[in-house]
Structure 1
Amino acid sequence: MVKKQTAGRQQLGDLAPQFAALNDDVLFGEVWAKTDELSARDRSLITCAALIAQGLFPQLKAHLKMAQANGVTQTEIVALVTQLAFYTGWPKAWSAFDLVKQTYGQA
């Protein structure tokens, strides 16, 4: 089961309450919670790949922590980043590896 998400309300609740509610209730409350189609672990791998591909490293940092909590191993995330390096760009992989090291205690 996916942990109840409150980051939207905590960070944007006063500024953008509708966006915060969509983030917490729809994205995480409905889509991420639908584990009969994809596990939280698989969703984490997919999300990390998409964020790396776009170079969205502030969001990647949070999602790497979530991936680790969802059972994605360091070996698996290293393989993911290595694979993506050839498709999304070498500099993005370097940047992602810095966050992987921080998340998995290698920094």
Structure 2
Amino acid sequence: MKKVTAGHDALGKFAPKFAELNDDVLFGEIWSREDKLSARDRSLITVSALMASGILDSSLQFHIQNAKNHGVTPEEMSEVLTHLSFYAGWPKAWAAFRMAKEIYGEENQ
């Protein structure tokens, strides 16, 4: 998996410990444990958690893209978001679908 540097890039000087935990621990240690849970599955779990929590910003966008990069198909993403809509809420699903549609591109519209 490609090294994530978002924490250091955005907060490295202001919040160096948070940046370290984000980049080195969360993405470096936890996400790298693919023998325990695949990056694909971690991506789906993360998209689900963010949507359910109402975090409908660039974090969700990043993780939908990450899910696509880890092999989640447009059909699978659509099914996940549809399923989540009944638990997380219809407006959250609409927001997530807009992001997913943009990320998965014209071929799936």
Q: What is the TM-score with the length of structure 2 in the denominator? A: 0.94
1:38 aligns with 2:41: no
Hey, what does 1:84 align to over in structure 2?
84
Deviations 1:28-75 (A, max 9, x none): 000000000100000000000000101101110111111111111111
Hey, what does 1:49 align to over in structure 2?
48
Hey, what does 2:105 align to over in structure 1?
105
Hey, what does 1:26 align to over in structure 2?
25
Aligned mates of 1:105, 1:14 — CA distance in 2: 35
C-alpha RMSD over aligned residues: 1.0
Aligned mates of 2:76, 2:9 — CA distance in 1: 31
AA aligned to 2:24 is D
Hey, what does 1:73 align to over in structure 2?
73
Unaligned 5+ segments in structure 2 are none
User: How big is the shift at 1:86?
Assistant: 0.6
Hey, what does 1:5 align to over in structure 2?
4
Secondary structure, aligned partner of 2:42:
helix
Aligned mates of 1:10, 1:33 — CA distance in 2: 20
How many residues align? The count is: 106
Hey, what does 2:62 align to over in structure 1?
62
Between the aligned residues of both structures, percent identity stands at: 55
Secondary structure, aligned partner of 2:14:
coil
Aligned mates of 1:40, 1:105 — CA distance in 2: 22
Q: What is the TM-score with the length of structure 1 in the denominator? A: 0.95
Unaligned 5+ segments in structure 1 are none
Aligned mates of 2:61, 2:14 — CA distance in 1: 23
Aligned mates of 2:40, 2:54 — CA distance in 1: 21
Spell out structure 1 runs of 4+ moving beyond 6 A.
none
